Amino acid sequence: MELFNMPMETIYMYGLIISGILTVLYVLFADVVHFDGPDFLNPVLLFAFVTIFSASGYLFERLSSVNSMLILGFSAVIALILVTLLNVFVLVPLSSAEESLVYRESDLRGRIGTVITTIPVDGFGEVMIENISGRIAKPAVGFQGEQIANGTKVLVVQVKDGILHVTDHQEAQEIFIGGD
């Protein structure tokens, strides 16, 4: 069968080459071009569909003598199934995992951390905060300019310009709760 005076093999090959190039370009520049549309119009899914459709169509045209309309339908079904599996088992879990790794500095206020580099009087040290997704090490100063020794548990009182303002957790607990 021919379409636009070209054999179907050639059309499938052009579709494969063009969708492959567009997929690579989209992967490289996806951060620049952000997509905010319905999930089924996601460029990754569309490019994957066209790539799988073109590749299976080309292979069936080359390797079998089945009717071209049957190959077209069979290739579309194969591509639809594989793209659905790609979306359900790869893209959806990745999109939800990406959100769980993000934190804002304001989210650190009220967290408990451990001093890993002694905070000198009116100077900078470093505090490590345990998180579900890992550990966060940030520069820190004493909230009232006090010295805080290495290994001390501290409470993050506020965050300004990426610097944690902390106070000794034990002292804060005694002041605010009455100490237990």
Q: How far is CA 8 from CA 55, 128, 129, 170, in A?
A: 12, 61, 60, 75
Q: Which of 180, 145, 150 is nearest to 166 (CA)?
A: 145
Determine the pLDDT at residue 100. 53
101 contacts 133 by C-beta, under 8 angstroms: yes
| Residue 24 pLDDT | 87
**Residue 153 pLDDT exceeds 80:** yes
Asked if 23 contacts 48 with a C-beta cutoff of 8 angstroms, the reply is yes
Q: pLDDT band for 175, please (50, 70, 90 cuts).
A: low
The pLDDT, as a whole number, for residue 161 is: 87
pTM above 0.85, yes or no: no
- What token pair was written down for 61? 């045209």
Pick the CATH number of 105-176 from 3.40.309.10, 2.40.50.140, 3.30.365.10, 3.90.1150.10: 2.40.50.140
Neighbouring C-beta atoms of residue 147, cutoff 10 Å: 13
Task: List the beta strands (DSSP E) in 28-162.
Answer: 112-117, 125-131, 134-142, 153-160
Residue 28 pLDDT: 86
3-state secondary structure of 78: helix
Domain with CATH 2.40.50.140 in the chain: 105-176
Greater confidence (60 vs 173) lies with: 60
Q: pLDDT-based confidence at 171, cuts 50/70/90?
A: confident
Model confidence over 4-62: pLDDT tens digits?
A: 678 888 999 999 999 989 988 888 887 787 767 776 678 888 999 999 999 999 999 99
Number of neighbours of residue 74 by Cβ within 10 angstroms: 15
pLDDT for position 174 = 66
pLDDT tens-place string over residues 75-120:
999 999 999 998 888 877 777 665 555 677 778 888 999 999 999 9
